[in-house]
A and B are shown apart, each in its own frame.
Chain A
Amino acid sequence: MKPESAVVSITVNGTPHRLEADTRRTLVDLLREDLGLTGTKIGCGQGTCGACTVHVDGVRVLACLLLAVTVEGGQVLTIEGLGTPDGGLHELQQAFIDRDALQCGFCTPGQIMSGLGCIGEGRANTAEEIRESMSGNLCRCAAYPGIVAAIADVAEGQGA
């Protein structure tokens, strides 16, 4: 093993992986470069845009701020892991389409993963609450009204 590497065991979208990773490699780069899961985007690499949002052990996190080796043993969920096994969409993905909650789409995977977190945390009761809880996810196309509506649709459907 190279001196700057370490072995990390990580489960991504239900599939366990054991990988040798550069100790400087971030979780988002591990997902993208080592596992080819490029749905998670990098907008800043600094924790300021939210494009890299994934879930680790059920909690939304910024994958650009986590070194991959620190996620040892973690359960990671990415945008690629959301749909149903038969290729169907998750209801929040469908709600994003229904509300046209995107333009360029670059922030979208992060918005959806963060939106799921927002709903799961019980912070999607009002539009204002959603906006507060989603403010770590920037959308330069400013598709914000649609994003909030999509999250509200799903939260309401779940009786949140």
Chain B
Amino acid sequence: MHNAIEVELFGIPRSRAGVAKTTAQGERLGEVLGDLEARFPGLAESCIEGGQLKPGYVCNVGGQRFVTDPQLPLAAGDVVLLLSADAGG
């Protein structure tokens, strides 16, 4: 049984997926990303490939640390943010 992980999307990932929030399945970051990739063709085209983030994108768990490692374990209740890596303004 996979964890249900809440995912929030910002910037380009949000505009590519067409949603601000969704729920994805997975026990590791790579599985969650793979689930998103399978369900959102826009994300597969731009942000995620083979369950890994493409360059220019980053995840954040719970608004705390930034992560990219597909092997990162996730627990039920974790919230994953998917965003553009460049924060320049």
Please say whether chains A and B are actual partners in one complex: no
